[in-house]
Amino acid sequence: MSGSTETELREGVLSAARAMNAHGLNRGTAGNVSARCRDGFLVTPTGMSYDESLAEDIVFVRMDGSWDGARQPSSEWRFHRDVYEARAEAGAILHAHSPFATSLACLNCDIPPFHYMIARFGGNSIRCAEYATFGTQELSENVVAALRGRCACLLANHGMLVFGRDLRRVLDLAIEFETLCEQFWRARQIGAPVLLSDAEMSRVLEKFAHYGQQGPRAADSRGGSRSTSESRWSI
């Protein structure tokens, strides 16, 4: 959300957290959402209902781990900070205990290339970060490792995490990720999915590098022109 004021970012974080629950990605006070801001980030508070929270309840956390305000940040603030430090392209992060992603996370397995849309998240698989107690530095380090070359990962026996360029994109990514997890889960109920080859996934990744990037359009039949749009697939 380039150019947004801090107040707008606070409202955006809260709206994304509420949308996360509305889309079935999360229930209750589990999960968390953040957005990069100034020399730190804004993150949802720990243990508070998103429907009952206000924009001023969103917590500003500095990169040194200190924070301002009366509320305490999410217990998972460490992996938000460390992902922002490791990935300059990350503008927003969403962590959820969504049903299908969490089910797969409890199997402690990576998601293989059963569908070409795996490439949407940066590679030919989606990794599962090794288990560590929630809120710990160990978990944060495991998450950063699982995200190498990716914008999404599972967290073993825990849930899922995605990052994107801004809050709108990160919510879209989370919904797409949970959809893929559901498809993989359902396919596994029938049998072992047929996996795409490394060569095919390389071709798909190449196509995703340019997919959806619209150049200037010719004038339409009414004499007007259509504006250039951003790539739907960019994170």
- E strands, the chain, in order: 32-37, 40-43, 59-62, 92-96, 128-129, 152-155, 159-164
Query: Could you give the CA distance from residue 219 to residue 205 in angstroms, rounded to a whole number?
Result: 31
Dihedral sign, Cα of residue 144, residue 145, residue 148, residue 152: negative
The candidate with the shortest Cα–Cα distance to 121, out of 179, 186, 37, is 179
Query: Could you give the CA distance from residue 61 to residue 69 in angstroms, rounded to a whole number?
Result: 10
In angstroms, what is the C-alpha Rg of the chain? 18
Catalytic machinery residues: 76
